[in-house]
Amino acid sequence: MTNPIITRVIPAIRMLTSTAAIKVVRFDQRSELVAVEDEEDLRAISFIKKGSGILVVDETIDPTEILDDLTVKLSAWSTSNNNQPDYILLKGIGLIAIADNAYDLDVLLGASPKELKNINGRVQQKIILVTGGAQGFGGGIAELLYAQGANVVIADLNEQTGTAMADALNSNNQTNQAFFTPVNVSNAESVELMIAATVKHFGGLDAIISNAGILRAGGLDEMTPETFALMTDVNYNGYFLCAKYASVVMKAQSKYKENYFTDIIQINSKSGLKGSNRNFAYAGGKFGGIGLTQSFAMELMPNKIKVNSICPGNFFEGPLWSDPEKGLFVQYLRAGKVPGAKEIEDVKAFYEAQVPAGRGCRVIDVVRAIFYVIEQEYETGQAIPVTGGQNMLN
C-alpha cells in the first residue's frame, strides 16, 4: 500500500495552503533533506531561497497526528506571517515545497530561474492525469489541456513515446508543466504507483482521464479467451483501478477544502452505447464502463467527485484508423470489408458517410466535452456522446 503521507498528507497540505489561488506542491525526499534537524539547518542548504517562509513539523509516522498538528501550525503560521509558507519540513520524512505554479516549485528546489509564460487558461494550474497519454486521443487531450494551463501527467505503457510527449510539451516554456510516469492500467500496483508519482510531483489530482484502451476486433469464432481477458483487463478493469486509487487522493482534498470539485472522466466510445458487430469484447467492456461511471458517480458525489464518461465517435485521423501499416483503414481495404473500395480514401469516405456531421471525431471535439464536464458542478454519472450525430441518446 502506498505511503499515507503521499495519499493523504500531501493533498491535504495543498488544500490547506490554497487559500487564494490553487497551489501545487512537491515532495522531495533527497537524503540531505530527510536528515535536516531544524529550520537553521534547512536554511544552510544552498538552494533554499533566502527569506523564504519555513514551517517545521516534528517527526511522527502517524498521518492523522501529522495532519492534526499541521492544521493547527499552518493556521498559526499564516496568521502571524500573513502568507503561506514556501516550505514545510516534515522532520525525518522529507521537504514539501509549495508554490503557485510547477516552475516555481523547480526554483524552490534548486533550479535556476528563467523567463517563462504564465498561461491564463480554462484549466489553469489544475493537475490532470491522462492514461494512454502518449499518443492518439490521449496525446491530443494532454496537449490541449497543457495549452490551457494544466499541469499534465502523461501516464502510459510506452515510456519512449510518453517521455517524448512530455518533453515536447515542456519545450513550450510555460509555468505549468508536463510529467511522464509509466503505467500499466491493468495492474493495481502500477496504478497505485502512478497516483503516488503524480502526488509527489504536483501535490494532488484534480482530474483523471481514464483513456488508455485497446481494440482487438473479432467475432465469436475468432476471439480467444486470452484476447477477451486482455481487453477486459485494460478497458474495464483499468478504469476501475484508476477510479479506485485516484479517488483516495481526491477524497483527501475535498476533506480539507470546502466545495472543491474534482473529476474522474472515462474516455468511453460510441461502442459503449450501441453494440458493435464482431467487436463484442470492446463494446462489452465499454458498456460495462458506463455501469461503473453511474455507480461511482452515486458513491463519490458526497466527496464532490464527479464521474462521467465521454463517448467519442471514430477518430479517423488517429493512429488506430490511419496508421499506414496497421490502421483499420488499411486492414479493412485488404480484407475487402467495404464493397468496391480500391483505395484507403474509398474506405474512409464509406465510414465518414455514416456520420451526420460528415467527418470523424477529432481531439478538440472530445476536449470540449472534457471542459464541459470539468466546469459543470451539476453533472455526474453521464455518458456524453461526441459522435457528430452518429449516436443519439434516447
Ligand X SMILES: NC(=O)c1ccc[n+]([C@@H]2O[C@H](COP(=O)([O-])OP(=O)(O)OC[C@H]3O[C@@H](n4cnc5c(N)ncnc54)[C@H](O)[C@@H]3O)[C@@H](O)[C@H]2O)c1
Interface residues toward ligand X, by CB under 6 A: 131-132, 134-138, 156-158, 183-186, 211-214, 234, 267, 269, 312, 314-315, 318-321
| Contact predicate 133/154, CB 8 Å | yes
| Contact predicate 165/145, CB 8 Å | no
- In this complex, which beta carbon is closest to ligand X, that of residue 197 or of residue 320? 320
- Judged by DSSP in three states, 25 sits in strand
Give the dihedral sign, CA 318/320/321/322. positive
List CB contacts of 385: < 8 A, sequence separation 6 or more: 270, 273, 311, 313, 391, 392, 393
Query: How far apart (Å, rounded) are the C-alpha atoms in residues 312 and 391?
Result: 10
- Judged by DSSP in three states, 33 sits in helix
- In this complex, which beta carbon is closest to ligand X, that of residue 136 or of residue 203? 136
Q: What is the DSSP code string of 92-123?
A: TTEEEEEESSHHHHHHHTTPPP---BPP--TT
- In this complex, which beta carbon is closest to ligand X, that of residue 195 or of residue 320? 320
CA separation (Å) from 60 to 67, 69, 71, 183? 10, 10, 15, 31
- Nearest distance in Å: CB 212, ligand X: 4
- In this complex, which beta carbon is closest to ligand X, that of residue 77 or of residue 351? 351
- In this complex, which beta carbon is closest to ligand X, that of residue 135 or of residue 380? 135
Query: How far apart (Å, rounded) are the C-alpha atoms in residues 19 and 85?
Result: 12
- In this complex, which beta carbon is closest to ligand X, that of residue 88 or of residue 320? 320
Query: How far apart (Å, rounded) are the C-alpha atoms in residues 45 and 315?
Result: 51
- Nearest distance in Å: CB 187, ligand X: 8
- Nearest distance in Å: CB 199, ligand X: 19
- Nearest distance in Å: CB 25, ligand X: 26
Neighbours of 324 (CB within 10 A): 9
- Nearest distance in Å: CB 328, ligand X: 8
- In this complex, which beta carbon is closest to ligand X, that of residue 138 or of residue 288? 138
- Nearest distance in Å: CB 327, ligand X: 10
- Nearest distance in Å: CB 242, ligand X: 10
